[in-house]
Amino acid sequence: MSLETKPKKETDVDTYKLPWVEKYRPRVLDDVVGNNEAIERLTAIAKSGNMPNLILTGSPGIGKTTSIHCLARALIGESQLKNALLELNASDERGIDVVRSRIKQFAMKKVSLPAGITKIVILDEADSMTPGAQQALRRIMEIYSNTTRFALACNLSSKIIEPIQSRCAIMRFGKLRDEEVLKRLIVIAKKENVKYTSEGLNALLFSADGDMRQAINNLQSTWLSLPDDRDRLVTADGVFKVCDSPHPQVVMKIIGFCNVHQFDDAAKELKMLYSSGYSAIDIITTFFRVVRDFGVFNNGGGYGAGGDNSGANSSMMTISEGKKLDYLREIGITHMRVVEGVQTLIQLNGLISKLCKIGM
């Protein structure tokens, strides 16, 4: 039987069908990317075997839930995970009734574990729990502290009530650096035989903005959207097409015109971008990222040929640090208005008119 027609084992088929973000999810703490200080603290907890109640806070896709699972696997062991680990995420109903029933019943359940090891309850997106449920949880954390420990993952720790915060060790996770995300993307690309360009990888980093989960999903989506032939290649244009976001080179061209006070040319490019169907929030977000990372574009970190800047002179492509801060202030004010609902072309034209006036 040839290799092409030889059936895979059942486990191989399951692994083959997994999304890459799950297929390459770290299973031990040493494999988690970034946030080294937090991972070192979790590693020390795993070695001591004495886990306190934890709150892991930070933006999405940076490894909070993955780190908790790795810690639980190190403490409890793979064989006991089903019996000694309870996980509730944002898709579950987590009102006061769930806390009083499922969580309390799990805390009361007797499980044979090594001395000093406790059961673990993982509450993902804990900041979406109702205040009443959090109050009920606070009491359960007190009563069953000898047998059960809690790990809460959330985006905003301020939405967790103070009585729970005082009972937990808070670990703050920051966005991943581009170098850290890039390293993992290259590893996955090699294992999946994905061919790419450097501009394509830069585009993935730009679109993800420190979110490892989004970067991996965008890589897989871009690769699977390409025709299956020898010339299959992940490029910047392919990434932005799949992500359906404005091309940063086009936005940089608009900013370049604003930098030399050419409002008509900037407005013409902006109208073309807006007419392409992109929402005002997508455009203003790309404006912010491009201005923030403006030096990357000028130092060999291009994002493909989506915007032809061949006619741009050096004065268009030079922004001082002071002017960059002024640009970011105006973009931030416009972003606030767009989020509040004023998502019109006039609002965006008002932004570029203010950018053109800066430095005149």
Same-domain pairing of 157 and 256:
no
Which CATH number goes with the domain that contains 322? 1.20.272.10
Residue 227 lies in a domain: no
> Per residue of the chain (360 residues), what is the pLDDT tens digit?
333 434 444 444 455 578 899 999 999 988 898 888 999 999 999 888 888 999 999 988 888 889 999 999 888 888 888 888 888 876 667 677 778 888 888 888 888 777 778 888 898 888 888 888 888 888 888 888 888 899 999 888 888 999 999 989 999 998 898 899 999 999 999 998 889 998 899 999 988 888 899 999 999 999 988 887 777 888 888 888 888 888 888 898 999 888 888 899 999 999 999 998 888 898 999 999 888 887 555 554 555 555 444 444 444 567 778 888 999 999 999 999 999 888 888 999 999 999 988 866
Verdict on whether the full-model pTM lies above 0.85? no
Same-domain pairing of 37 and 161:
yes
Residue 310 lies in a domain: yes
Q: With left for phi above 0 and alpha for psi between -120 and 50, is residue 112 left, alpha or beta?
A: beta
Q: What is the spatial distance between Cα 333 and Cα 351, in angstroms, rounded to a whole number? A: 9
Same-domain pairing of 144 and 253:
no
Beta strands in the chain (DSSP E): 54-57, 85-88, 119-124, 148-154, 169-172
- Are the C-beta atoms of residues 29 and 63 closer than 8 Å to each other? no
- Structural domain of residue 81, as residue ranges? 32-172
Same-domain pairing of 168 and 41:
yes
In three-state form (DSSP H/G/I as H, E/B as E, the rest C), the secondary structure along 273-334 is HHHCCCCHHHHHHHHHHHHHCHHHHHCCCCCCCCCCCCCCCCCCCCCCHHHHHHHHHHHHHH
Total structural domains within the chain: 2
Domain final position from 156, 172, 188: 172
Same-domain pairing of 152 and 254:
no
Residue 41 lies in a domain: yes
Residue 16 lies in a domain: no
Same-domain pairing of 167 and 252:
no
- Residue 6: the pLDDT is 42
Residue 19 lies in a domain: no
Which residues does residue 152 pair with via DSSP β-bridges, in sequence order?
55, 123
User: In the structure encoding, which two tokens stand for residue 291, read together?
Assistant: 């201005």
Residue 7 lies in a domain: no
Domain final position from 154, 172, 190: 172
Same-domain pairing of 56 and 162:
yes
- Residue 261: the pLDDT is 87
Domain final position from 172, 196, 214: 172
Which CATH number goes with the domain that contains 149? 3.40.50.300
Residue identified by tokens 């579950």 is: 92
Same-domain pairing of 143 and 56:
yes
Residue 83 lies in a domain: yes
Residue 179 lies in a domain: no
